[in-house]
Structure 1
Amino acid sequence: MDRLFVNSDYSRLRAESIGLSTATLHVVKGGCEVVGRQPMQREQLGLPADRPLIVSCGRLVDFKGLDDALSAIAILKKRGKRPLFVMVGEGALEADLKQYAAELGIDSCCHFVGKLEPARVFDYYHSADIYLSSSKEVVRNIDGFRYTHTETMGRSICEAQGCGLPVVTTDAGGAPEMVLDGKTGLVVPQGNADAMAVALASLIDDARARRAMGEAALQYARQQLGWDAVLGQYVKVMTSLA
């Protein structure tokens, strides 16, 4: 094997930990459409236009940390921020998450829209104010093998920035590598709903900072995360091996 492409430094370290040679590993981060900010009328999605809209996309499974996200939304509601939270995706925990939202008293703030076609997913990116990635690292033991299940990159984080959205993400796995902390988004400790709520509130309260981060996110996506940039990196490595 001449080269093995991995999608983050986190993935590289995991590959090295099972004995793969550092010399064969090459990190290429990102890979997403960069479409820019295309605001759309929220009414088309059945959502009010006068409340801060936070969107998350992905499977409804444990390592996505959506229980922490819901706890953060509850904190925001208690603090009078009037958040709306849309979760795009399906998964085994949907019923549990809906029940938890009801227990927190935020079911009216939360919308589970299920699995959507890519174009519909982008409608929610374009309608949102902030993108939230709440993932965490979940350790599993399978047949005596210890395995950490988490984000190795987070493509939806890349897609959101490609739509000009500021991102709040946890520090789980490779997710924090996909944003420039303090410039294109904010990184918070995984599993910490209070820190997540503080980061979200800071962007809800400061429209200027939110817009500036979104503009920086779009520029970063164009330069580093979009398919043109990523394919260029692949071609460069493959050409060097010819």
Structure 2
Amino acid sequence: MEGSKETELKALTAGLGIEHQVKFIGQRDDLQEIYPLMDVFLLSSYTEGISITLLEAMVCGLPCVVTDVGGNSEVVLDGVTGFLVPSDAHESMADKVLSLLADPELVAVMGNNGSERVASCFSFSRMMDEYLELYES
């Protein structure tokens, strides 16, 4: 993370005693190397289209906790591939993350479901077929 809140957030994690569990990695171009180090993917956007990083995380088998905005609900099936929470429900988002971290079996099931969903519904060939069908109609 970089920006105006970085110092404040680092101080908060230290104050909560979780600085060893939270990593501030800044902007990265090598996410394919980062996703395998993660247990859960969190996307707390107030607005969103269909997030490429969300699709990437799901392909990598990560359960996702995301705000129910924009295209997120088209990608994440609530309770199946991850969880959708209202964009202003910070405590609910934290509760969902904690519930996943406490249940490795659920993490594995949701991660597998998400990976399969992206492969079947959001692959390049599938998207091209749908665009072609749209143009021909």
Find out whether 1:108 has 2:5 as its counterpart.
no
What percentage of aligned pairs have identical amino acids?
A: 34
The AA in structure 2 aligned to 1:228 is S
Match of 1:93 in 2: 5
Gaps spanning 5+ residues in structure 2: where? none
What does residue 133 of structure 1 align with? Answer: 43
CA–CA distance in 1 between the matches of 2:107 and 2:3? 30
Letter in 2 for 1:109: Q
**Count of residue pairs the alignment pairs up:** 137
**CA–CA separation in structure 1 for the residues paired with 2:10 and 2:73:** 27
Q: Match of 2:98, SS?
A: helix
Residue 178, structure 1, aligned to residue 69, structure 2: no
Shift, 1:224, TM fit: 0.9
TM-score by length of 1: 0.51
2:52 alignment partner in structure 1: 155
Distance across 1 between alignment mates of 2:88 and 2:15? 19
Structure 1 residue 209, shift from structure 2 partner = 1.6
| Structure 2 match to 1:189 | 86
In 2: Cα distance, 1:236 partner to 1:183 partner: 29
Q: CA deviation at 1:235?
A: 2.3
d(CA) in 1 for partners of 2:43 and 2:122? 17
Tell me the TM-score normalised to structure 2 length.
0.85
Q: Normalized per residue, which structure has more helix?
A: 2
2:112 to 215, 218, 222: 215
Give distance in 2, aligned partners of 1:155 and 1:91.
22
Give the number of the structure whose alpha-carbon radius of gyration is greater: 1
Name the counterpart of 1:50: none
Question: For 1:1-242, what aligned pairs fall within 5 Å after superposition?
Answer: 89-117=1-29, 120-136=30-46, 150-238=47-135, 240=136
Q: How many Å separate the matches in 1 of 2:127 and 2:40?
A: 25
The alpha carbon displacement at 1:127 in A equals: 2.0
Q: State the AA in 2 paired with 1:95.
A: T
Structure 1 residues without counterparts, runs of 5 or longer: 1-88, 137-149
Q: CA RMSD in A?
A: 2.1
CA distance in 1, matches of 2:133, 2:108: 34
* CA offsets 1:10-56 (integer angstroms, 9 cap, x no match): xxxxxxxxxxxxxxxxxxxxxxxxxxxxxxxxxxxxxxxxxxxxxxx
Distance across 1 between alignment mates of 2:126 and 2:5: 36
